[in-house]
Amino acid sequence: MKKNICVLGSTGSIGTQTLEIAKNLGIKVSSLAVNQNINLLEKQIRMFKPQIAAVFNQNQALNLKKRVNDTFTKVVAGKEGVCEAAAISSVETVVSAMSGISGLLPTVEAIKNGKNIALANKETLVSGGSLVMKLAREKNADLFPVDSEHSAIFQCLQGNKDRKNIKRLILTASGGPFFGKNLSELENVSPEEALKHPNWNMGKKISIDSATMMNKGLEIIEATHLFEVPIENIDVIIHRESIVHSMVEFKDGSVLAQMAVPSMKIPIQYALTYPQRINCSIESLSLTGCKNLSFFEPDYQVFKAMEICKKAFKGNSSSCAVINAANEKAVELFLNREIRFTDIIKLVNYALNNFKFSEINSVEDIEIIDRKVRNEIHIIAKDLQ
């Protein structure tokens, strides 16, 4: 079990659940980092007494410093501060749960400093997969997946690690709030409707990604990096109940599935206690109570994000960074009611087909691509209004 952790994104859904688990298991929390929610961060500082608390927003960091000057916690600010929190010497494992591309740099910094990573930030591997995995191998850093789907595959592969025996990975998807809808029905859906996930309570960005099925496309890319399985051998199946979290089919025809009630506490805790399994404060799965486990093929005509992501992966190393940046900006614009729901994937597809960059060789390359694509998407989106 991990004895000392850093939590990047400690005020988000994954972060708060991680801290709850850390408290229950007696895991020391040495550093915390957030974008700007200092109200909750102050409470976390007083409860967990970390050595360092980082706030990306400079002004909010100054405010927090005044509010917690009666504690022994060092408050740091900006990108450099978040990286300092991730690299602190006392930490064994960094829980990477910051939203979007903001999690990339501190995760890389943590790996450079020999930390293991409990990875909840899929954008890190989507934008910089080859770079990050190469660095992890060089530094002997372990990556423990926190996404429920990747944790499920990770668990199914215990004792079955020879990749030659894998026929395919099967990622399950709830289908989000718009399962069964056609494109015309999605034209005018509101942010409030798109945020109503049927099974999971998640942050806004990932909830919209689930509604567009972009989340599943990003997970396909992440899975290829984590498990070294060709993208052609990764399938998606709609499973409305969110009980089967993903499956692995082996070449002899056997299929292993990981099943549990839809709770992120299980994959978070497993990432922190691996290879041990410890009692978790959630209800047990009742198969007789489930009544039905249903499975459907995805509608690739309506939800085009998955095929777009596969196409991006087959391009050069910058293509995935392009679609990730375009998607993050498009989701932001949709939540601000500046574009329609269906415009999100249109903008992502446009970016993939029209924005060309050289191969990625560094985190700085990714950051440059990210800024340029976001700026272009903002300009293009104005023409859609």
Judge if 102 and 175 occupy the same domain: no
Is the Cα torsion angle 149, 154, 157, 159 positive or negative in sign? negative
Q: Is residue 136 part of a domain?
A: no
Q: Is residue 141 part of a domain?
A: no
Task: For residue 187, give the amino acid letter.
Answer: E
| Contacts (Cβ under 8 Å, ≥6 apart) of 25 | 1, 269, 272, 273, 278
Give the tens place of pLDDT for each residue, 100-116.
Answer: 888 999 999 999 999 99
Q: Is residue 373 part of a domain?
A: yes
Give the tens place of pLDDT for each residue, 111-167.
Answer: 999 999 999 999 899 999 999 999 999 999 999 999 999 999 999 999 887 888 999
Q: What percent of the chain has pLDDT over 90?
A: 88
Judge if 223 and 336 occupy the same domain: yes
Evaluate if residue 221 carries a pLDDT over 80. Answer: yes
Range of the domain at 51: 4-121
Evaluate if residue 6 carries a pLDDT over 90. Answer: yes
Report pLDDT for 281. Answer: 83
Judge if 176 and 111 occupy the same domain: no
Judge if 155 and 89 occupy the same domain: no
CATH code for the domain of 346: 1.10.1740.10
Q: Is residue 140 part of a domain?
A: no
Judge if 111 and 156 occupy the same domain: no
Report pLDDT for 80. Answer: 96
Mean pLDDT of 298-319: 95
With CA atoms as reference, report the closest residue to 144 among 172, 166, 120: 120
Kindly indicate the confidence band of residue 199, based on its pLDDT and cuts at 50, 70 and 90.
Answer: confident
Q: What percent of the chain has pLDDT over 70?
A: 99
Kindly indicate the confidence band of residue 385, based on its pLDDT and cuts at 50, 70 and 90.
Answer: low
Report pLDDT for 216. Answer: 96
Mean pLDDT of 269-286: 93
Q: Which among 121, 138, 163 is the end of a domain?
A: 121
With CA atoms as reference, report the closest residue to 246 among 264, 230, 260: 260
Task: For residue 138, give the amino acid letter.
Answer: E
Q: Is residue 291 part of a domain?
A: yes
Evaluate if residue 201 carries a pLDDT over 90. Answer: no
Whether omega before 230 lies within 30 degrees of 0, making that bond cis, reads no
Judge if 32 and 168 occupy the same domain: no
Q: Which among 100, 121, 142 is the end of a domain?
A: 121
Judge if 266 and 333 occupy the same domain: yes
Mean pLDDT of 325-339: 96
Judge if 100 and 157 occupy the same domain: no
Evaluate if residue 180 carries a pLDDT over 80. Answer: yes
Q: What is the pTM of this model?
A: 0.94
Evaluate if residue 1 carries a pLDDT over 80. Answer: no
Report pLDDT for 219. Answer: 97
Give the tens place of pLDDT for each residue, 185-196.
Answer: 999 999 999 998
Total number of domains constituting the chain: 2
Q: Is residue 128 part of a domain?
A: no
CATH code for the domain of 33: 3.40.50.720
Judge if 338 and 266 occupy the same domain: yes
Q: Which among 101, 121, 141 is the end of a domain?
A: 121
333 with 378: CB under 8 angstroms? yes
Report pLDDT for 241. Answer: 93
Report pLDDT for 99. Answer: 85
Judge if 224 and 273 occupy the same domain: yes
Judge if 179 and 242 occupy the same domain: yes
Q: Is residue 280 part of a domain?
A: yes
Report pLDDT for 284. Answer: 92
Judge if 195 and 111 occupy the same domain: no
Q: Is residue 127 part of a domain?
A: no
